[in-house]
Structure 1
Amino acid sequence: MLTMQAVCAALAGALAELTSPASAITLLAAASVAVTPALAPALREPAPDRTGPGSRRTK
């Protein structure tokens, strides 16, 4: 994740050189809004199985 933050920072700098800084920020914000929901399901951990062996019962 740290590597991708560096890549995006470099991309932001390159876009700011080619366009205005405001346009670069807007483009990257739009890309972030598009990518975040696409990746969110894969990042969620499944709920733990509470009925399997080794599960604890509370009274």
Structure 2
Amino acid sequence: MLTMQGVGAALAGAMAQLTSPGTAMTVIALASIAVTVSLAPGLRPAPRAASAPRTA
């Protein structure tokens, strides 16, 4: 994960060199949201199986 943070920062810096900083920040923010949304389902815990009702 740490490596990918460095890669993301390098991409943001390269993009800011080629475009305006505002454009680079917007594109990187949208990419970050897209990655977060795509990875979020895998981070959720699996639903628990329903247990049988207890009788006293």
TM-score range, shorter chain: 0.7 to 0.9
Which 4+ runs in 1 deviate beyond 6 A? none
Q: TM-score, normalised to structure 2's length?
A: 0.75
Q: 2:54: which partner in 1?
A: none
Deviation of 1:47 (Å): 4.8
Q: 1:41: which partner in 2?
A: 41
Deviation of 1:23 (Å): 0.5
Number of matched pairs: 51
Q: How does 1:1-59 map to 2 (within 5 A)?
A: 1-47=1-47
Q: TM-score, normalised to structure 1's length?
A: 0.72
Secondary structure of 1:46's partner? coil
Root-mean-square deviation (Å): 1.7
Q: Percent identity?
A: 60
CA distance in 1 between counterparts of 2:26 and 2:32 reads: 10
CA distance in 2 between counterparts of 1:2 and 1:35 reads: 15
Secondary structure of 2:25's partner? helix
